[in-house]
Structure 1
Amino acid sequence: MEQTPGAAEPSDADRRRWHRMLADEQEEARVYRDLAGRRTGEEREILLALAVAEERHRAHWAALLGDDARHVGRGSKQLRLLAALARRFGSVFVLALVQRAETRSPYPADADATPAMAADERVHEEVVRGLAARGRAQVSGTFRAAVFGANDGLVSNLSLVLGVIGGGVSSSAVVLTGLAGLLAGALSMGAGEFVSVRSQRELLAASAPDVRDADTVLRHLDVDANELALVYRARGVPADEAAERARRVLASADPAGFVTPGGGPSESDEVVGTGLRAAASSFVFFASGAAVPVLPFLFGLQGLPAVVVAAVLVGLALMLTGAAAGVLSGGPPLRRALRQLAIGAGAAAVTYLLGAVFGAALS
């Protein structure tokens, strides 16, 4: 490897670190190319541009290594997993994971990385955040209903089962109670989610600009009075800007001028989701979650073993839903998983204690 005159010979630790950086950049470029392979249009171009930037970073470490760059290994396990997920799925969850990977770039603290490389990684994080935001908007309504439904099913039915167990009922009564709670809760959640989403969409629709007969209205407006400016001012546009926009719209007679720029009802509707989809998602995931604490009893377990197995299964499921929510939101998955577990365990413990108290009082 060629060295700058007077420069210190890099240590073995430096070379190992450069090899690791080189391999990771190579893997990151592969992730972006694999994601681009599952996209079209502008998103594909953006992802390919990110891959080119990672190749540029790779070239930096290759130049430091010189001939040693030919012996580069594979990237980190996390990046190899991301590449595998990108090849097979390319979903918003993969983009969310890539976003988290970009936030953990070591370049700002690395003496051998250039300031431009550190700045690139910071920009990459925002680019991926923007791409992920599109997917998050498309799935947020359904995903919210699914996570809420699964979590509610897990916690409420485990609490219900532990509550009646605390009251001293038989295993057959536990199963019956659990199944009744599953059906009642799933139907209630599905119906409630449908009504909630439909009501929200109706509220958004009531606030959306009405462009019916807009071309006729524009032709007959009094140009001197220019009441069209009042429409924009009512939507929060400053007076001077509203007057200028109204003059441009009247001059062009464009019916689209009735719509205030900067976000419209279609974006809000996309985030809210559809009533039927949210209801179905909530019903299915609540029922799936509520079935977990009943499974040990359905398979013949009784007493303490059944309670322990049910608690472990529900705990694992709660951590899974918490981690999934953390990944999609860009937060730390483990922290969200532990938070879900703590909330569920607290609710179940309180219900069991109340069941034991009431069972003792009624016996």
Structure 2
Amino acid sequence: MTAAPRPEPTARERRRWARYLVDERAEASVYRHLAERRAGEDREILLALAEAEGRHERHWLALLDGEPPRLPRASSRTLVLGWMARRFGSIFVLALAQNAEDRSPYDDDPWATPAMRADEKIHREVVRGLAARGRRRLSGTFRAAVFGANDGLVSNLALVMGIGATGVGAGFVLFSGIAGLLAGALSMGAGEFVSVRSQRELLEATEPNNYADEVLPDLDLDANELALVYRTRGMSDEEATAQARRVVEAARAADRTAPYRRPAEAAPDHEVVGNALAAAASSFLFFASGALIPVLPWIFGLSGLTAVLLALGLVGISLMSTGAMVGLLSGGPPLRRALRQLAIGFGAAAITYLLGLLFGVAGAG
């Protein structure tokens, strides 16, 4: 039984195919530009993604019976991705590409093949995997930087709002803001150093070492307590015994004139944790830069309602920017993250402002 022929495509459908065509070309270009900035496996994966987009492009060209005389512009999202890929080629582009692949237009389009719909879903997982590599490399210092900046913005805005609401002079508000900047930055830097350093030391203490390698050739092959070591690392009894026999046999076959050393079993991945000094420096500098923004109006001699409104505006823009950045890097919706950061920051400032008003009224009474 043959399938029923498809109806003749409408002009609207042909316009949609043309839009798909230019978007596929633009997305393939994004992946090629990203591949130019990478090497090894990442480059091969990105080029393979570009080739897959090329297959989709050829599908729409076939339906259109060749290159249309006029083509629409690519979507604004794809154009932004292309611009960023040509100039940056960074983790931000991959994060944006991940969001783009999450919204496939082919799911409900009867003219797209099942293979194309499957490709788009797989592409999202591939891009997410590539972005995850960059996120792991950034996780230590980036976390300290973003959270440091946000803490500085929120805590110093709340401080100057609360102090200002009591009715004190502009000079005292400025002094309080600078003191809060220095105290908070030093505290954040020291705390981040201790946190990251402690985490690295904890990981180092749990890593396998070569403490007992010199006595391995003397172990009994049948009553082999080395198997207990492998069982503590999650192997089953049978797997641990077999691994222990292999290690002891290799130790006995080695040159007995030199101490035997087992090959490294797994290299520790400290990139996930980050460098303690780098994290501390990032935390200090970004907290300070964030905490500076709320006091800028008073630094430039403003006071009263004008200074308050300007501080709120500057901090609001900064909070939304950092929130959107976190959203992009985490693969989440940037606008939602931006609004969440704004609500948290302004909520904290509102609470301290109300407390300042209460203390100011009580002091006046």
Q: Same-fold call, TM > 0.5? A: yes
Q: Distance in 2 between matches of 1:60 and 1:186?
A: 56
Counterpart of 1:110 in structure 2: which amino acid? Answer: D
For 1:232, give the aligned amino acid. Answer: Y
Q: CA deviation at 1:299?
A: 1.7
> Is structure 2 residue 207 aligned with structure 1 residue 205?
no
Q: Which residue of 2 aligns with 1:159?
A: 158
Task: Tell me which residue corresponds to 2:56.
Answer: 57
* Aligned counterpart, 2:73: 74
Out of 231, 234, 241, the position equivalent to 1:233 is: 231
- Report the CA distance between 1:98 and its aligned residue: 0.8
Q: How does 1:124-139 map to 2 (within 5 A)?
A: 124-139=123-138
Counterpart in the other structure of 2:336: 335
CA contact under 8 A between 1:205 and 1:265: conserved in structure 2?
Answer: no
What is the correspondence of 1:312-323 to structure 2 with a 5 Å cutoff? 312-323=313-324
Structure 1 247/71 Cα, relative in aligned 2: closer, same or farther at 3 Å? farther
**Per-residue CA shift, 1:5-42, capped at 9, x if unaligned?**
95422111101110111011000100000000000111
Kindly state the Cα deviation for residue 211 of structure 1 after the two structures are TM-superposed: 2.5
Asked whether the 8 Å contact 2:164–2:356 carries over to 1, the reply is: yes
SS in 1 for 2:107: helix
User: Once structures 1 and 2 are overlaid, which stretch shifts more, 339-348 or 59-68?
Assistant: 59-68
SS at match of 2:104: coil
AA in 2 matched with 1:71: R
State yes or no: 1:219 paired with 2:244: no
TM-score normalized by the length of structure 1? 0.93
The secondary structure found in structure 2 opposite 1:195 is: helix
| CA distance in 2: counterparts of 1:106 and 1:255, whole angstroms | 56
Task: Indicate the residue corresponding to 2:117 in structure 1.
Answer: 118
Which of these residues, 234, 239, 242, is aligned with residue 240 of structure 2? 242
| Aligned position for 2:268 | 266
Q: Take 1:250 and 1:70, find their aligned partners in 2: how far apart are those partners?
A: 73
Alignment correspondent of 1:41? 40
TM-score (norm 2): 0.92
Question: Alignment RMSD, CA only?
Answer: 1.8
SS at match of 1:107: coil
Q: As a proportion of its length, which structure holds more helix?
A: 1
- 8 Å Cα contact 1:159-1:348 kept in structure 2: yes
Counterpart residue number, 2:88: 89
Post-superposition offset of 1:69: 3.5
Distance in 2, Cα, partners of 1:247 & 1:206 = 26
Structure 1 residues 240 and 299: CA distance shift in structure 2, 3 A: same
In the alignment, structure 1 segments of 5+ residues that lack a partner are: none
| Counterparts of 1:255 and 1:24, CA distance in 2 | 56
Rounded Cα–Cα distance in structure 1 between residues aligned with 2:60 and 2:174? 62
1:230-254 Cα shifts (integer Å, max 9, x gaps): 1111122222222232233333349
Equivalent pair of 1:36/1:44 in contact (CA under 8 Å) = yes
Aligned to 1:280: 281
Cα distance between partner residues in 2 of 1:87 and 1:204 = 39
Correspondence list, 1:131-150, <5 A: 131-150=130-149
Once residues 111 and 311 of structure 2 are traced to their aligned partners in structure 1, the CA distance between those partners, rounded to angstroms, is: 52
User: Which whole-Å CA distance do the structure 2 matches of 1:273 and 1:89 have between them?
Assistant: 23
How far off is 1:300 after superposition?
A: 2.0
1:255-304 per-residue CA deviation (whole Å, 9 max, x = no partner) reads 44673xxxx5622x111100111011111110111011101111222111
CA contact (8 A) 1:211 1:258 kept: no
> C-alpha deviations, 1:51-94, integer Å up to 9, x for none?
00100011001111113445334321111111111111111111
Percent identity, please: 63
Work out whether residues 249 and 257 of structure 1, in 8 Å CA contact, stay in contact via their aligned partners in 2.
Answer: no
- In structure 2, how many angstroms separate the alpha carbons of the residues matched to 1:279 and 1:180? 19
**Distance in 2, Cα, partners of 1:284 & 1:92:** 22
CA 250–107 in structure 1, closer or farther in 2 if over 3 Å, else same? farther
Amino acid at match of 1:22: L
C-alpha distance in 2, partners of 1:37/1:160? 47
**Aligned residue type for 2:304:** G
